[in-house]
Structure 1
Amino acid sequence: MADHTGDPQHAQDTWVDEAMARLSTEQKAALLYGADPWQVRSPGSLHLHDLVMTDGPNGARGVTFHTGVSRCFPCETALAATWDPDLVAEVAAAIGAEARSKGAAVLLAPAVNLHRNPLAGRNFECFSEDPELSAQMAAAYIAGVQSQGVACCVKHLVCNDQESGRHTASSEIGDAALRELYLTPFEVAARAGAWSIMAAYNKLNGEYVTEYPWLLTTVLRDEWAWDGVVVSDWYATQSTAKALTAGLDLEMPGPSQLRGDKLLKALETGELSSEDIDRSARRVLRLLHRTQHRPMTAPPADPAALIREAGARGIVLLKNDGVLPLAVAPGALIAVIGSGADAGQPQGGGSCQVNPPYVSGPLSAIRARLAPDATVEFARGWADQTRPRPLTAQDIKIEYRLRGAPDSEVLATEYAVSLSMSWFNSVLPGYEPGDLAVRVTACIIPAENGVHQLTLAAIGHGRLTVDGQVLLDQRSAGGRDVIFDLGRITQRADIALEAGRPAELVIDYEPWSESGLLRLQAGLIPPAPDPAAAVRLAAAADLAIVVAEHPHGVETEGVDRPHLGFDPAQNDLISRVCAANPRTVVVVNTGSPAAMPWADLAAAIVQLWYPGQELGESLADVLTGAVNPSGKLPVTFPARAEDAPSWPYYPGTEEEVRYGEGLAMGYRGHTVPPAFPFGFGLSYASFRLGEASAAAMADGYQVTVPVTNVSGRDGREVVQLYARLADDRPFLELKAFATVHVPAGRTVPAVLAVPASRLRTWSGTGWRYLSGPVEARIGTSSADLPIAVLLGA
């Protein structure tokens, strides 16, 4: 085909026209569904790479779940807590480069659903409860990823804001809330040039999103003038002709269930026209061209350093009674306590998970930073006894044989990084799952003496032995409810193990032939730690650091959290440590809000989020003051789950989720003072905001606020502008923000752009743009807005 030069858009359109002219109807139809779980075949005559997709958004896993490693970046909530689009774009460029290194052209990210309720299991994958903050983060993320020639697939369109009933429920929502809140990040993403968007599982006001022409065509194509590809969430396609004519371009995953020959049959019967197929085929060809003919910018040179910086910049200091930054006297004893203090969780669970090359743990990082001046001692104090972490072990080998022939030739051998394994559709290419037997062998070396619990969960039939002794024999047919919540089928067995002594573990696994996603997971729960020993250590120490986190699998795709709090025993440990040592720092490593009944007892509280593989280094940077904390909450932290405005309507039923709070979602609707408000975050520096000035611009307003650092420490401040868009609204709404670095003793202007498009309300038939004076208030959180300014006065 001709190599067109000149205008890139003209060259792209010309290439697509020529490609369409060369393809048969069958070839065009084959572009509209996956050939396998992760890719769409490119017609051989076009001499292009296939269109390979990979999960995100906190990394790029590639097309395999349990083999190979990928860098683990901060979760989206952690990125949003930086309130810095430039930094997010830089991180996203590194993720885009990682996707390229995996051979992928489409990254299934970012997720821009809103944190409507703090218990939603997948909140950590999304940016914020606020559409403005989410939209700006999304635009920056898209720019970064697509600078590497990798398409973003923005997900999950729309109102897929919880895991309960996500496959079946209809999100029942009014026009104003839908337009002003939940669609806003998608609109900004579309106008920012995202190359693809993912249609969600759920229904919207009674219509499945994947076959809703009003959403996929009228809004997305006609109103927003978007020209990308609409991809179904995996198995979300509901029909053949109806979905395609509604605007669903691509059915995933493959092999196809509702397209393939069914498309050609619908064409024969007149349910579809050739124009229907051509329209979507053109869009997929455009995506192929964009991902293979786009000039790429240079990715960040040191991704690990960037992960560390972004993780530290997203940390939010919630409380500080002067104990931070750490000032350690020679010979001091520092107690590090908690189930997550030695390793820590770098990420949440579900399809976003990657296998990082390493994880920097809090304990090792704090020791390295404070030694040799201080002695750092560790006591776990509490460990969850119900949800095991997947075992990591030495030399995990996976061998594939024909079922019923245990001594037959090994068909293939793989090596895994943990005993958490997943296979999508195909266990081994060329064989049916029911024909195969899988043997997993590993050497486990326990760190503690005593009675441990080994656990096993298998979709299919799994048998686990240790040193030749059969301990577990488990069968399960799987199903939608257990794919991401293996706790429902996990079996356990006690075993006495000796610290440092190797034990040989073998799992013989026969996959269940009827499941599209197969999973096998083994875990090891060590003996329950002694909380009294941890309290004694804290009492003897000059300072205590407690790392609190949810058990593995609590924050994950597939299930929502059962409650806002930590395990009662973990809360009790934290309270006892705080009582034993008034200089206690509590580090909260969660991806969304957690109740903190011990907050008044703690000297300092640090919200870590899930910051990726450099977890410990990022935390140590902030605790020691190497990085001055500047993160701000992208979500409200309610004192109780019942205080969330969505609580009366959450989670709904399997058939219906009613968005009864309307526009009063998140901080807009809190009638009870929260534990920590949206936009809040402390610093080791002190700032003073001066008088704001507003000037009319061609497309809105520009507001300038002088920010003075009145302390002796350099730092960053996030200046936030909230506006009241109508007299009958009892709340202010975030409409602009700016993050400024201010050296000690200096004044730096914060410049906030407020485009007219942000000052609009949905009237029922269309947008109403405000022309008169708009009341705005400026400050450093949604609850601290001392400066008033009129826009358009």
Structure 2
Amino acid sequence: MKIKEMETEKLISLLCGDQFMNTKALPEYDIPSLEMSDGPMGLRYQKKDKDSLGINRSEPATCLPAGVAVAASWNPDVAEQVGTIIGSEAAAYGVDLVLGPAVNLERNPLCGRNVEYLSEDPLLAGRLGGAYIRGVQSQQVGACIKHFAANNQETEREYLNVICEEDVLRDLYLKAFEIAIREGKPAAVMTSLSKINGTYCAENRWLFDILRKEWGFDGLVMTDWFGLDDRVKSAEAGLDLEMPGTDGKSTAYMVEQWKQGRLDEHVIRERAECIIRNARKWKIPKTKKTEEERELLLKENHEKVCAAAEEAIVLLKNKEDILPQQQGRKLAVIGEYAREPLFQAEGSGKVEGAGKEDAWECAEKWNGADNTPFAMGYRRNNAGSEAEQQKLRDEAVKTAADADAVLFFLAMDFGFEGEGNDRVQYELPEYQVALLKEIAAVNSNVIAVVMNGGAVAMPWADEVKAILECFYGGQGIGRAIVKVISGEVNPSGHMPVSVPAFREQIISDENFAEQTEQVTYREGMFMGYRGYETKKIPVQFPFGFGLSYTTFEITECSVEQEKITDCEKTVLRGKIKNTGSRKGAQVVQLYVKNPRAWKARPARELRDFQKIILEAGEEKEFVFSISRELFELYDERVDERTVPQGMYGLELGFSVQDIRAAQKIEVTPVFPVPRQIQGWDKTERLLETKAGEQIFEELYRKITEKAGGIFAQRLKEEKNVREMLLSQPIRIVHLMIWNEMTDSELIAILEKVNQELYHDYREKMRSLEKK
């Protein structure tokens, strides 16, 4: 039976999920059910007692590096590999749709869900999010990108109203989604629980129009779990699917609304057709694997996830080249997190890990048991009595004093961050930091290993020789850490977020996670490094920063054309050389330094990047494409992306603060955005539009017929009245006939003329796009 012949009640029944993790099936119409499972840090597949918060047990799965750790690799291949891992395990259980990735920006380091998110920058988040999606979907499993949009805090998330200007939304918070959706083409999009500018995301027509009409998305749009306020408004706005199922209550309500004429049948059919189309597309026949086959798959994926973790580690400090460590030296390993690494979060990020690499055991295998003593030092979350805690501290200090170097593990304690709650502190737990200082007092060769979701303050950095930032590195992080400290792996991670020195430096902190139902993004475009660079705030570790065991130089940098229009393209060419003695990888980051424009812009913004592997002494060429996308911004005057004219800087560096080479390029728009016509403009500007021409002719007629007072005398003396009027400000011309036209009428005229002015501009731009 064709969809158009289906009963309306049947179509309505499809608009709500069936049970907790499925869409509704109608076998008699050949409409299958899609089975879903949580991600993105690993498959959280539950055979029974399904939930969305990680409360009940799930089946064993590979625990992946968290989103922020994947982003620290600055490598789309790593993101795609991670997506492939979760996609393969989803397919093994017959899962059709994985709920991930999450590409919301890390607006504030204290957001509890930063562990799942990728970066504070939309390009890095979007590009790696797109790669993750491609990896998942290469396994014939759909990916559901989330949370659309501006889900940047957990506090009051169900009621929160995010107040944010449209240009900031489009150029930052939506941009990450746009890039990931265009590059990854996900099966589905999940909406955020909150409101944006007063309207719930699940019933926000403006958001859905951008998603479908501007970006061309034709997949499924669904709610977050229980993330619906008004089902009718949501359907009318463009939402397809409510999740989870409601035991028929939502369907009954929708049927009633339809029968009473409050819900148009066209809307019902449009939403249902989208669900049917995508259910059939993504219900790809899969052969569920046996338990033995799944165990073999988990072993294969474990090796892959260990390799991914290696690229995610960021070397933040390496004083006196203490790393890599020499084999055979006495290396004390201290901290419970060396044995129980922090590699997963709460809520949808919680995974029943299928394996775990113990950092101490891995260190023992490499360095020998006699050379690698271990001391607990502390219990997670500072568990135990004061006497027990003191005993552990004393043992750790004694172990450290007898060693050549110390590998000390610190972490943001389990439960401090994750879905449902934001962090209350920027610093690591005090009991861990206090022990670190005690150990540094008896051993000057301390290597700090840090595990966390969002960025953390490191005021103790001067007391240690080296710092490894590991984030939530997945189940293979223990092995990866030892490979890095031994020198088997040369660290190549770079920071996907900024690390302010202390909480007071965090630009967004004054309007974040307050116990209120509204938050205003007052920092606008100046979030993260965009703000720190523009306002010259000295952070502890800048965006894009990461050290290596070797050194690199950019030896050449040139741009083919120094002047282009916004419709032309050129290329930036350069060469990078490994000037050290080890093989290594470096991320070449392209930043655009913005000229002054009609509105304030960040000093510089990331616009492209490449991760390049080089043997010792090797030199390679790299090329960046230069086009309008690098310079454009959303211009609310014309509701289009435009390019301000000016001299731009093309800056190549190894972090936002470490610029190694630069070129300038002058960009001129083919059609500059016309300046808004205002009352003090010369009247001749009315002739820029047809409506303005007609208005001027009417003004001319009225003035020549009815002008009085001093204006009447002047008109008699003027030989060319028309030219005289055109040279006068619009307001002066208006005064000549003030009794014939009110101020409100003048304002309405200017609004009409400006609407046509910008409509004409948009038509010109669209004609260029077609060419």
* TM norm structure 2: 0.79
Picking from 255, 280, 283, the partner of 1:289 is 280
Instruction: State the SS of the aligned residue for 2:336.
Output: coil
Q: Which runs of 5+ in 1 are unaligned?
A: 1-17, 389-451, 454-493, 495-524
2:372 is aligned to 376
Is the CA contact (8 Å cut-off) linking 2:327 and 2:367 kept in structure 1?
no
Instruction: Determine the structure 2 residue equivalent to 1:594.
Output: 456
Distance 2:317 2:602 in 1: 29
Deviations 1:518-544 (A, max 9, x none): xxxxxxx98665212211111110110
Q: Secondary structure at the residue paired with 1:750?
A: strand
Check conservation: 2:45, 2:58, Cα contact below 8 A: no
Match of 2:576 in 1: 707
Q: CA RMSD in A?
A: 2.4
The structure having more radius of gyration, on CA atoms, is 2
Specify which of 637, 650, 654 is matched with residue 780 of structure 1. 654
Query: Counterpart in 1 of 2:693?
Result: none
Partner of 2:766: none
Match of 1:497 in 2: none
Question: Judging changes above 3 Å, is the alpha-carbon distance between structure 1 residues 114 and 315 closer, same or farther for their aligned structure 2 residues?
Answer: same
Q: Which residue of 1 aligns with 2:217?
A: 226
Q: 2:60 matched to 1:73?
A: no
* Residues 1:729 and 2:601 aligned together: yes
Partner of 1:749: 621
| Aligned residue identity for 1:766 | E
Give runs of aligned pairs for residues 270-419 of structure 1, distance below 5 A: 270-293=261-284, 302-328=300-326, 330=328, 332-371=329-368, 375-385=371-381
One-letter code aligned to 2:250: R
Q: Is the 8 A contact 1:334 1:375 kept in 2?
A: yes
Cα distance 1:772–1:295, how it changes in 2: closer, same or farther (>3 A)?
Answer: farther
Where do residues 123-138 of structure 1 align in structure 2 (5 Å cutoff)? 123-138=114-129
Specify the SS of the correspondent of 1:690: strand
State the alpha-carbon separation in 1 of the partners of residues 21 and 509 from structure 2: 37
Report deviation, 1:643. 0.5
> For residue 657 of structure 1, what is the aligned residue in structure 2?
519
Distance 2:284 2:630 in 1: 34
**Equivalent position of 2:420 in the other structure:** 558
Look up the match of 1:677. Answer: 542
Distance apart, 1:285 and its partner CA: 1.5
218-227 or 18-27, which deviates more: 18-27
Deviation at residue 104 of structure 1 after TM alignment: 1.4
Structure 2 CA distance for partners of 1:695 and 1:304, relative to 1, 3 Å: farther
CA contact under 8 A between 2:104 and 2:146: conserved in structure 1? yes
Alpha-carbon offset, residue 336 of structure 1: 0.5
Question: 2:153 touches 2:512 (CA, 8 Å); kept in 1?
Answer: no
Output the amino acid matched with 2:400. A
- Separation of aligned partners in 2, 1:334 and 1:48: 61
User: Partner amino acid for 2:617?
Assistant: G
Q: Which residue of 2 aligns with 1:578?
A: 440
- More divergent stretch after superposition (756-765 vs 587-596): 756-765
Secondary structure at the counterpart of residue 347 of structure 2: coil
Residue type of the alignment partner of 1:351: S
In 1, are the aligned partners of 2:592 and 2:630 still within 8 Å (CA)? no
- For 1:608 and 1:722, the matched residues in 2 are separated by 25
Query: How far apart, CA to CA, are the structure 2 residues paired with 1:327 and 1:725?
Result: 43
Instruction: Find the residue that maps to 1:375 and give its secondary structure.
Output: coil
How far apart, CA to CA, are the structure 2 residues paired with 1:276 and 1:167?
A: 26
| 1: CA distance, partners of 2:81 / 2:547 | 24
Q: CA deviation at 1:168?
A: 0.6
How many pairs were matched up? 638
Answering whether residue 262 of structure 2 is matched by residue 266 of structure 1, we say: no
Task: Give the structure 1 partner of residue 99 of structure 2.
Answer: 108
Kindly, what percent of the aligned residue pairs are identical?
Answer: 33
Distance in structure 1 (CA, Å) of the matches to 2:643 and 2:432? 50
Q: CA deviation at 1:566?
A: 1.4
Cα pair 2:111 2:423 within 8 Å, conserved: yes
Q: Residue 577 of structure 2 aligns to which amino acid in structure 1?
A: T
1:45-77: CA deviations, max 9, x gaps? Answer: 244642111110011111344142111110010
* Pairing partner for 1:689 from 545, 554, 569: 554
Give yes or no for contact 2:410–2:450 (8 Å, CA) kept in 1: yes
The one-letter amino acid of 1:80's match is A
Label 1:78 to 1:733 Cα distance change in 2 as closer, same or farther (>3 A): same
Return closer, same or farther for 1:730/1:139 CA change in 2, 3 Å cut-off. Answer: closer
1:212 corresponds in structure 2 to 204
**How many angstroms apart in 1 are the aligned matches of 2:107 and 2:260?**
44
CA 1:632–1:265 in 2, change beyond 3 Å: closer, same or farther? Answer: same
Shift of 1:211: 1.0
- Shift of residue 102 of structure 1? 2.5
Paired with 1:168 and 1:144, the residues of 2 have a C-alpha distance of 34
Change (3 A) 1:779 1:300: farther
* AA aligned opposite 2:192: A
Assess, with a 3 A threshold, how the Cα gap between structure 1 residues 536 and 635 changes in structure 2: closer, same or farther: same
* Distance in 2 separating the partners of 1:588 and 1:370: 21
Does the aligned pair in 2 maintain the 1:69–1:356 contact within 8 Å? Answer: yes
Q: Is the 8 A contact 1:385 1:528 kept in 2?
A: no
Q: In structure 1, the residue corresponding to 2:462 is in which secondary structure?
A: coil
Whole-angstrom CA distance in 2 between matches of 1:294 and 1:177: 42
- Post-superposition shift, 1:686? 0.7
Q: CA deviation at 1:324?
A: 4.2
- Contact persistence 2:32–2:280 (CA under 8 A): no
Look up the match of 1:470.
none
Q: Which has the higher helix share?
A: 2
Change (3 A) 1:603 1:257: farther
How far did 1:653 drift? Answer: 4.0
Is contact 2:193–2:202 with CA below 8 Å preserved after alignment?
yes
Q: Distance in 2 between matches of 1:652 and 1:755?
A: 41
Q: Is residue 763 from structure 1 mapped to residue 635 from structure 2 by the alignment?
A: yes
- For residues 717-742 of structure 1, give each alpha carbon's deviation from its aligned partner in whole angstroms, at most 9, with x where no partner exists: 00001113341435100001000001
Letter in 1 for 2:582: R
Match of 2:689? none
Look up the SS of the partner of 2:577 in the other structure. Answer: strand
Q: Which has the higher contact order (CA 8 A, sep 6+)?
A: 1
Cα distance in 1 for residues equivalent to 2:401 and 2:407: 12
Q: Return 5+ residue gaps in structure 2 as ranges.
A: 51-55, 288-296, 668-771
Give the C-alpha shift of residue 23 in structure 1.
Answer: 3.4
Kindly indicate which of the two structures has a greater share of residues assigned to strand. Answer: 1
d(CA) in 2 for partners of 1:716, 1:542: 29
Q: Which amino acid aligns with 1:305?
A: E
Code of the residue aligned with 1:564 in structure 2: it is Y
Structure 1 residues 356 and 385: CA distance shift in structure 2, 3 A: closer
Distance 1:552 1:199, change over 3 A: same
TM-aligned CA distance change 1:239 to 1:713, over 3 Å: same
Q: How does 1:158-173 map to 2 (within 5 A)?
A: 158-173=149-164
Contact 1:33 1:256 in 2 (8 A): no
Aligned partners of 2:285, 2:649: CA distance in 1, in Å?
Answer: 44
SS of 1:243 mapped into structure 2: helix
